[in-house]
Chains A and B, each alone.
Chain A
Amino acid sequence: MSGSETLARRGAGGQAREPVPSESLERTASDTDLIRRVQEGHEDSFRELVRRYQKRAYWLAYNVVNDSEEARDVAQEAFLRVFKSADRFDYRRSFYTWFYRIVVNLAIDHLRKRSVSRKVPLEDLAEMEGSERRPEARLQDGELGQEILDVLSGLPEKYRTVIVLRDIEELSCQEIGLIIRCSHATVRWRLHQARKLFREHWARMKRRKGVVEK
């Protein structure tokens, strides 16, 4: 019951807990130390990894799948994969590269599983203006964020992944190569194509929006 007691003490109100010595240790530990302790069965270490990476995992997934519920599923599943396969972690590599790869692969799997009918054609984006706001729209600052995500949704997944990792997550091309297992040259090629496509789709969406507003 100790695990559930810990959760109960924290409560659902989001109040910060009083720091305790064991948690302080976890908070100063490196990612590698934490994953080593997860392998040894330390719950607090896994919890610390979740706290460190939950926002990055969620937003990365969200920018790829453009759906808050799916993003949450993807991010949570990614943490469970980390937990279940911690023994297979390669200590020569960085944790976040490994973790990001898991998130990206799961997000792409979700995209592939998603039915075609759920896709939003670019032609319909302008018509979505004024329609009922989706839950994720509440998470965004204004309409701009949603417009961007909708345009991103129109890009092929290999280009979408690279542009999200580079321009939103601000990772280097070298890091992206490690995450998606491509050469540096291929990452730059995809980035080149992705930005070109994004600009075209963005301009098209703006034009259509302008027509609808008139």
Chain B
Amino acid sequence: MISCEKVRRLLPLHAGGDIGGRQEHAIDDHLSQCLGCYRVFQEHLEGVTSLKVSREHSDPGPEFWQAFEDDVMSRARESVAVTSSPATWRLSAHRPLLAAAASFLLALTVWFAFEPESSKPLSKADRPPVAISHIVPIYEGGESTGLERVSASGRRSVSTREEGELMRLMRQLDYPSGADDIRQLERMQTEYHSEIDDGIFR
């Protein structure tokens, strides 16, 4: 039988129906025989059920939504008035030929006045660098606790602390430690979640 420790680790996902396959049946079997784990499961279930129930908000009424819609439309019209030619919508909606002719003349003017940048082919040297990410291992006290993904533009894409938390958990689950590249980390993540999902990814 699956251990209490392992079952309790999986209960948050199980309570929301996020574990499938044999693993789900194994947890259910355990819960039917272990009162302690069943009580913890009930607590998780209460939380998830409460969240689902909270979706049933009482509707504030048609006036609220009508005012909401009117505000959005009004603000959108204002933004059109500020950022482009006045009353673009009115022209396009009610004087389509005039709007089309005006747009065509405007486009011609712009075309002849300024050659679009997009029409000039970029030389290889001018092209932006390909965004190849590289990985920087993070060490705390001589131990690898996470990985930092850095894009070619220097932007981080993953929370190092969170990856560190995941790695620490995986170590508790007897996964190998000391991962030093992203492929290794992703393989470990996949294995960890495969264990949860029993191979079923949704």
Residue of A nearest to B76 (CB): A83
**Given known contacts A50-B72, A83-B79, A163-B51, is B166 in contact with A189 (CB within 8 Å)?**
yes
CB distance B66 to A14 under 8 Å? yes
Given A141-B58, A185-B189, decide whether A3 and B89 contact each other with a Cβ distance below 8 A: yes
Is A24 interfacial (CB-CB < 8 Å)?
Answer: no
Pairwise interchain contact A199-B65, C-beta atoms closer than 8 A: no
- Of A14, A58, A184, A195, which contacts B47 at CB under 8 A? A195
Residues of A within 8 A of B5 (CB): none
Q: Which of A1-45 contact B (CB under 8 A)?
A: 1-3, 7, 10, 12-14, 40-44
Give the interface centre of B12, B51, B74, B89 by most chain A CB atoms within 10 Å: B51
Q: Is the CB of B22 closer than 8 A to any CB of chain A?
A: no
B7 an interface residue at 8 Å Cβ cutoff?
Answer: no
Q: Is the CB of A185 within 8 A of B193?
A: yes
Interface-facing stretch out of A88-96, A104-112, A122-130, A167-175? A167-175
Q: Are B58 and A195 in contact (CB under 8 A)?
A: no
**Which A31-90 residues have C-beta < 8 A from chain B?**
40-44, 46-47, 50-51, 54-55, 58-59, 62-63, 72, 75-76, 79-80, 83-84
Least distance between A142 CB and chain B CB atoms (Å): 9
Is A203 touching B76 in the complex (CB atoms < 8 A)?
no
* Chain A residues with CB under 8 A of B15: 195
Task: Indicate whether A145 reaches chain B with its CB closer than 8 angstroms.
Answer: yes
Residues on the B chain within 8 Å of A192, using CB:
12-13
How many A-B contacts are there with CB distance less than 8 Å? 158
B76 touches A79 (CB 8 A): yes
Of the residues A3, A76, A194, contact of B68 by C-beta under 8 Å: A76
Q: Mark B84-120, 1 if CB is under 8 A from A, else 0.
A: 0000111011100001000000000000000000000
The count of residues in chain A whose C-beta lies closer than 8 Å to any C-beta of chain B is: 64
B interface, by DSSP: helix, strand, loop or mixed? helix
Query: Is A141 touching B50 in the complex (CB atoms < 8 A)?
Result: no
> Complex formed: what's the CA distance from A194 to B15 in Å?
12
Of chain A, the residue at the smallest CB distance from B166 is A189
Q: Does B183 reach chain A (CB closer than 8 Å)?
A: no
Using a CB–CB distance below 8 Å, which chain A residues touch chain B?
1-3, 7, 10, 12-14, 40-44, 46-47, 50-51, 54-55, 58-59, 62-63, 72, 75-76, 79-80, 83-84, 139-141, 144-145, 148-149, 158, 163, 166-170, 172-174, 183-186, 188-196, 198-199, 202-203
The 10 sampled A-B contact pairs (Cβ below 8 Å) are A7-B73, A10-B66, A43-B93, A80-B75, A169-B55, A173-B202, A183-B186, A188-B196, A191-B12, A192-B13
